[in-house]
Amino acid sequence: MEENKSQKFDAIIVGAGPAGVAAAVTIARGGARVLLVERSEFAGTKNMIGGAVFLTALKDIFPNSWEQAPIERYINKHTWSLLTDNSSVDVACDFPCSPKSASIYRSKFDSWLVDEAKKEGVYFAPSTLVKRLIKKNGYFCGVETELEEIFADVIILADGVNSLLARQHGLRYDYETKDTVLSVKETIKLSKEIIEERFNIEKGTKNGAARNFLGGLKLENAPFALGFMYTYTDSVSIGLGVNLEDLNRYGLNPSDLLERLKEHPNVKPLIQDGEMLEYSAHLIPEGGFKKLPKLCANGVILVGDAAGFINAIHFEGTNFAFASGKYAGETVLAALKIKDYSKKTLKLYEKKLKQSFVLKDLKSYKDIMENLYSRTESLMNYYPKKASEFFKIFTGANCKPKRDEFRNFIVHFIKDRSLRELLKDAWAFISSVFGVLK
């Protein structure tokens, strides 16, 4: 640990991901002594993202230096694809001039975040695993690492999706398998030129693309799974997030499922001739608003993935991590001022979250994942198939009267799936949309 004479800090942050760094710099900027603790030797090397970091949230934490972040490509082209066994129906949007997110490697990006935090006075302790929190007189007041005890007025848990510490100390229940997504990913090397060509990116620019895939796994009992791809400077990521309950139920392995996606005729050409650079896996907490932990207690606050702040529909996590880290930091500064670290004072954090997009979005999206999950079969198989059939008529010039073809399509649309199921699908859709807007 650097320059650390006494073992007492104003605040200790466990976990140097986006949430932990945001909290740490916020506290350091307020003039307090803050220690950021990370179990890996180099920040980011335990972490994985699909993925792209959201820039509005990043700029909010590092307004002056965000452009120096090790960004690979600006992800301004998005394509969502419904896949059947051998076809794809896509919806796409492209904003080449207004980047909102950027692809990153966690090892480089998280290390950069930490370097920026250190410049602003944050003490950083890598290769330091927190085993337990220290609690005295009903207040959390320190951490026990493998080597020593370190004390602080407030502890912030930014230790990610598994947050063993929050569980150990009763701040959070374990997730159920149905609320957990297991993602596997491969980073695949391709030349810049090939990436620009395959993803229709202007040559020599830092522009990039993301793809999302629903369906296409060639399984009758398909699990609830979403495929993703992101372009990097000279590589692409391809991965699949699968509901853990479904993996269990159907006896599936996530890597085998990813192989199925990679073999899909609409996906395969995108990665053809690429060389795998790295394979990785990570969990995503998707319990959302209904599974929120205790967000604070005497002397402790939970932020980012440790608090389950994810909006799975929009692939949002880093923005929640940055914002919640910042609000936690501001709350700690307020508590330090009045030297009161009780839950009552730290509740300011909850208030800030409630007033921001963090809890507002989690609340309005609280039923969506459950709704979609309950319609797995229609999402993974039925609708991709119907979309494909529709466009085969629309584009096929099949030398049959269109009227007959479309009528036949509509009859089968209803017949192939009972009216009851269709109504259930419609209801799930309407209640999801209504949930967000109400």
Partner 1 sequence: MSDDKAKKTIEDKLTTIKYNCDSESHLVIDRELCKNCESRCCTYICPAKVYTYDENQNIINVDYENCLECGACRIACPYGAINWNYPKAGYGVVFKQS
- Residues sharing a CB contact under 8 Å with residue 309, sequence separation 6 or more, in sequence order: 303, 317, 320, 321, 324, 358, 362
- Closest approach of partner 1 to the CB of residue 72, in Å: 10
What tokens does 364 get?
Answer: 């309005």
| Residue 255 binding partner per list ligand FAD, partner 1, none, with a CB distance cut-off of 5 to 8 Å that depends on partner kind | partner 1
Residue among 186 and 425 whose Cβ is closer to partner 1: 186
For residues 290 and 177, give the distance between their C-alpha atoms in angstroms, rounded to a whole number: 15
Chain-centroid distance of CA 321 in Å reads 9
Region 248-277 residues binding partner 1, contact defined as CB under 8 A = 248, 251-255, 259, 262, 272-277
* Comparison of 237 and 381: residue with beta carbon closer to partner 1: 237
Phi then psi for 33, rounded to 5 degrees?
-90, 120
Between 149 and 174, CB nearer to partner 1: 174
Least distance to ligand FAD, CB of residue 51, Å: 3
Q: Which residue's CB is nearer to ligand FAD, number 321 or number 346?
A: 321
Contacted entry of ligand FAD, partner 1, none for residue 204, CB cut-off 5 to 8 Å set by kind = none
Task: For the segment 26-65, give every residue that binds partner 1 (CB under 8 A).
Answer: 39-42, 44-49
Rg of the chain taking only CA atoms, in angstroms: 23
Provide the binding-site residues for ligand FAD, judged by CB under 6 A: 14-20, 37-40, 46-54, 129-130, 158-160, 165, 183, 185, 239, 241, 282, 284, 304-306, 310, 315-319, 321
CB of 397 vs ligand FAD, minimal distance in Å: 39
Is 101 or 111 the residue whose CB approaches partner 1 more closely? 111
CB of 142 to partner 1, least distance (A): 17
Query: Given the complex with partner 1, which of 155 and 359 has the nearer CB atom?
Result: 155
Closest by Cα among 247, 208, 206 to 225: 247
Q: 200 or 248, CB closer to partner 1?
A: 248
Query: Judged by CB under 8 A, does residue 128 bind partner 1?
Result: yes
Rounded CA gap, 385 and 422, in Å? 14
Q: 295 — phi, psi (to 5°)?
A: -75, -20
Tokens of 234: 């000279």
Regarding 187 and contact with partner 1 (CB under 8 A), the answer is yes
Among 134, 283, 313, 436, binds partner 1 (CB under 8 A): 283
How far apart (Å, rounded) are the C-alpha atoms in residues 410 and 424? Answer: 18
Residue type at 314? H
Task: From 25-33, 121-129, 299-307, 407-415, give the range in contact with partner 1 by CB under 8 A.
Answer: 121-129
| Partner from ligand FAD, partner 1, none contacting 319, C-beta within 5 to 8 A by type | ligand FAD
Which residue from 4, 65, 280, 364 is in contact with partner 1, where contact means CB under 8 A? 280
Of 84-92, 104-112, 295-303, 379-387: span binding partner 1 (CB under 8 A): 104-112
Structure-block tokens of residue 373: 């999950």
Q: What residues make contact with partner 1 under the rule CB under 8 A?
A: 39-42, 44-49, 105-107, 127-129, 145-146, 161-162, 164, 174-177, 180, 182, 184-187, 235, 237, 244, 247-248, 251-255, 259, 262, 272-283
